[in-house]
């Protein structure tokens, strides 16, 4: 496998360039899966960072791929982090944009490998698992990608449904999309413990982080009746609660950081849904921390 050139690729979603190097399976790939070469830089206050922190923990990578935690609220204009500035400047000539997280860096070269969270998680899955299952099991890639697409739909619909001053019909239509997508995911679980292949995969990590965002961020901009309808998917939220009690999930919940990050960047108005919490994430995170000490 050949490695993707370490180059900045323009993104329509972010102000900064996106680095899309990939980790291959052997030394011929340039970037290959070897312990103690790569480092994750992330904040668990954001969904991408939380997704990577959970995946890293589930895979049991530990110090084979160390994690550098960044502040919940970026300390530079444009959402950048001062700690990441040297990496960006070393990786893109005359770079002047924000140094955004998350980042997978190469300690051997001092440069960025990737800033694409989903691709980074796929590449972390290339490391030896030491008895742990793969997050992207062979033959299930298309199913996991379908779940990723539904999670994107939830994120987009939740933002549109909570948009202050938006067209009422448009907000109602967005809420319908949100509820329909939650319903399809709940039916997919249908009493099962996991979304795909009866085992924990990246699909579970993806959906769990999406539900965390829905309840801790997007809920604050929805009316109370909408939140009650969202909470009505009881099996889905019970599933999220069970995962939150697992150390690999719950101990990475930085609820204060999520709140500070949200209020630091959000320009929307708070709605009645802010008072209707769906899950007691703090309790479940504490349970996970207790379980990790046993």
Q: What's the rounded mean pLDDT across residues 43-60?
A: 97
pLDDT at 45 over 70: yes
Identify the band that residue 204 occupies on the pLDDT scale cut at 50, 70 and 90. very high
Q: What's the rounded mean pLDDT across residues 227-235?
A: 97
Domain 141-293 has CATH 1.20.1050.10: yes
- Global confidence as pTM: 0.90
Given a contact cutoff of 8 angstroms between Cβ atoms, the answer to whether 16 and 98 are in contact is yes
Task: For domain 8-124, give the CATH superfamily.
Answer: Glutaredoxin (3.40.30.10)
Tokens for 251, please give them.
Answer: 């101990």
Identify the band that residue 247 occupies on the pLDDT scale cut at 50, 70 and 90. very high
CB atoms within 10 A of CB 275: 11
pLDDT at 1 over 50: no
8-124 and 141-293, same CATH topology: no
Tokens for 83, please give them.
Answer: 């700690």
Domain ranges of the chain: 8-124, 141-293
**CA distance linking residue 48 with residue 117, whole number of Å:** 6
Given a contact cutoff of 8 angstroms between Cβ atoms, the answer to whether 114 and 20 are in contact is yes
Q: What's the rounded mean pLDDT across residues 98-107?
A: 96
pLDDT at 290 over 80: no
Residue 155: is it exposed, middle or buried by C-beta count within 10 angstroms (0-12/13-18/19+)?
A: middle
Given a contact cutoff of 8 angstroms between Cβ atoms, the answer to whether 33 and 41 are in contact is no
Identify the band that residue 273 occupies on the pLDDT scale cut at 50, 70 and 90. confident
**pLDDT, the chain, mean:** 89
Given a contact cutoff of 8 angstroms between Cβ atoms, the answer to whether 20 and 113 are in contact is no
Q: What's the rounded mean pLDDT across residues 39-46?
A: 98
Strand ranges, E, within 10-110 = 18-19, 38-42, 67-69, 103-106
pLDDT at 33: 87
pLDDT at 284 over 90: no
Tokens for 278, please give them.
Answer: 């769906």
pLDDT at 26: 64
pLDDT at 29 over 70: no
Q: What's the rounded mean pLDDT across residues 244-270?
A: 90
Q: What's the rounded mean pLDDT across residues 97-125?
A: 95
pLDDT at 24: 81
- Choose among 54, 14, 40: nearest CA to 212: 54
């Amino acid at each position: 496998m050949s490695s993707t050139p370490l180059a900045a690729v323009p993104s329509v979603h972010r102000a900064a360039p996106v680095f899309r190097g990939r980790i291959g399976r052997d030394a011929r790939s340039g970037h290959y899966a070897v312990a103690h070469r790569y480092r994750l830089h992330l904040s668990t206050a954001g969904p991408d960072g939380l997704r990577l922190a959970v995946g890293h923990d589930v895979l049991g990578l530990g110090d084979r791929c160390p994690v550098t935690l960044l502040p919940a609220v970026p300390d530079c204009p444009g959402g950048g982090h001062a700690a990441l500035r040297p990496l960006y400047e070393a990786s893109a000539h005359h770079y002047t944009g924000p140094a955004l997280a998350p980042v997978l860096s190469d300690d051997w070269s001092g440069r960025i490998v990737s800033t694409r969270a989903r691709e980074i998680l796929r590449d972390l899955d290339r490391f030896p698992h030491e008895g742990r299952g793969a997050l992207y099991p062979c033959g299930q890639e298309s199913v996991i990608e379908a779940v990723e697409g539904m999670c994107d739909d939830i994120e987009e619909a939740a933002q549109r449904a909570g948009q202050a001053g938006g067209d009422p019909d448009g907000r109602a239509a967005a809420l319908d999309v949100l509820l329909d997508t939650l319903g399809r995911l709940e039916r997919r679980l249908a009493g099962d413990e996991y979304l795909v292949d009866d085992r924990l995969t990246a699909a579970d990590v993806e959906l769990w982080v999406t539900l965390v965002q829905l309840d801790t961020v997007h809920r604050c901009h929805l009316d109370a009746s909408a939140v009650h309808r969202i909470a009505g998917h009881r099996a889905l939220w019970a599933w999220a609660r069970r995962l939150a009690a697992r150390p690999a999930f719950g101990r990475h919940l930085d609820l204060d950081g999520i709140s500070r990050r949200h209020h630091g960047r959000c320009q929307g108005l708070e709605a009645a849904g802010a008072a209707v919490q769906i899950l007691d994430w703090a309790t479940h995170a504490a349970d996970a921390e207790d379980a990790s000490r046993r």
